Amino acid sequence: MATVSGRFLFSLSKQIQPAMISLVIILLESTKVALGASGVSGSNWMSHISGTWHLSQVTIPGTHNSGAKFNLEKSFLCLPQACACQTMSIERQLQSGVRFLDIRLHHRNDKFRINHAVVDLGLSFDDVIHAVRKFLRSNGREAIVMRYREEGEADDVTRSFEDTLMTYVDKNKDLFYSNMTIPQLDEARGKVVLINGKGTGCEHEELGLCKKNGAWSKKSEENDWEPDCDPKDMNSCQKYVDDLINNMKEANEVTGSNSSDPPFYFTYTSANNLLKFGGVQSYSQFVNPKIVNFLKGRQGQEHLGCIVVDMITKDYARLIYALNFANSREMTADISNRSVDEILGSHKESWKPELLSIIVMFTLSNLIISHFYI
């Protein structure tokens, strides 16, 4: 009886083996497509780019207000529509391919908290540094562009914003790139390249690249964060979208042909205009599909600069960074067949955005009044 059972199992295994091998091949092929047939992924895509490219020539997925993730435990005031700009943590953003972070620093007690306007997001600058250090330790051939600015008025401090920032840089000298010129990728690998969005302290190379020192210009930055258009009226916002797309096209023309000293191009696709009852999600639900369709229509290698978005997803990020490669169409073949809604996911809330915006505006107004007058 044991011999019969053994023969049966042996015969069964011979029949199962080809099916298992076929399944493994299918899985490997699907993985190959998902990685662009080259092993490129959200965690390592920069490692596949020539180190002689200047960082400003790289097409970089970025997030606006990178720390503004809806999280009731950390910040109950950072609600969708009015405050929350992302659905992923900074760690997950980096793993998904994001390499541009927009960090808003509130100077409090001689340290930095991460804020969106007056709302504390439940993160410190040390938390952000820990996240990027951890990522770069595991992915040493990547580089992160981090644009910072001061958010809100300083609270209970004994030194300047620049002096406090310098203490963070001094403690992490191995992490931050220090020079006044835009680095080539090989010079920036494993490091954070600071972009000084505050515009002061530009004489100190440790505090990051500055507009006044030529790292970018007004002409190379499209950032109309409060457009005079209603996201529920598609026609009224079309010029806003056209300006964003034209900035990316100009980036491709300028940085693609100028290999000696190309400036950064920044395209902020984020917007928020509560006076028109247009919150973060309302604008992103209108703008993001337009940008996704624009990106899906591009092919080959392009230099579109830093594309900074709200509500980024892993697939959205891949559509952006794939354009650094000649086989970008092949790398995103699986995405191109999906609908825009599938690429972006759904961020619609069950409540009316108009009502939520009014509630948040009222709350923030009371906070400001209590802070300054009570």
Per residue, what are the HEC states of 299-320?
CCCCCCCEEEECCCCHHHHHHH
Dist. CA 258–CA 202, nearest whole Å:
25
* Strand 306-309, strand 60-63: pairing: parallel
Dist. CA 163–CA 169, nearest whole Å:
10
Per-residue pLDDT of the chain (374 residues; tens, 9 = 90+): 444 444 544 454 455 454 444 443 333 333 343 444 469 999 999 999 999 999 999 999 999 999 998 775 666 677 766 788 999 999 999 999 999 999 999 999 999 999 998 899 999 999 999 999 999 999 999 999 999 999 999 999 999 999 999 999 999 999 999 999 999 999 999 999 999 999 999 999 999 999 999 999 999 999 998 898 888 887 889 999 999 999 999 999 999 876 688 999 999 999 888 776 668 888 898 999 999 999 999 989 999 999 999 999 999 999 999 999 999 999 999 998 899 999 998 654 433 444 454 455 445 545 554 444 34
Domain assignment present for residue 108? The answer is: yes
Domain assignment present for residue 6? The answer is: no
Domain assignment present for residue 345? The answer is: yes
Q: Which amino acid is at 153?
A: E
pTM for the model stands at 0.84
End-to-end, the C-alpha distance of the chain in Å comes to 89
Q: Is residue 301 exposed (0-12), middle (13-18) or buried (19+ Cβ within 10 Å)?
A: middle
Q: Contact at 8 Å (CB) between 146 and 114? A: no
List Cα–Cα distances, 93 to 132, 141, 170, 245, 313, in angstroms.
10, 17, 26, 23, 8
Written as six digits, the tokens of 170 are: 């001094």
CATH number at residue 108: 3.20.20.190
Domain assignment present for residue 4? The answer is: no
Written as six digits, the tokens of 181 are: 């010129």
Domain assignment present for residue 35? The answer is: no
Number of domains in the chain: 1
Q: What is the pLDDT of residues 57-94, one digit of tens each?
A: 999 999 999 999 877 566 667 776 678 899 999 999 99
Domain assignment present for residue 358? The answer is: yes
**Contacts of 257 by beta carbon, 8 Å cutoff, 6+ apart:** none
Among residues 181, 176, 143, 162, which one has the least CA distance to residue 264? Answer: 181
Domain assignment present for residue 367? The answer is: yes
CB under 8 A, 24+ apart: contacts of 11-14: none
Region label for 110, one of left (φ > 0), alpha (ψ between -120 and 50) or beta (otherwise) = left
DSSP string, 132-154: HHHHHHH-TT--EEEEEEE-S--
Query: Residue 325 half-sphere exposure, CB side, CA atoms within 13 Å?
Result: 23
Domain assignment present for residue 26? The answer is: no
Domain hosting residue 191, numbered range? 54-373
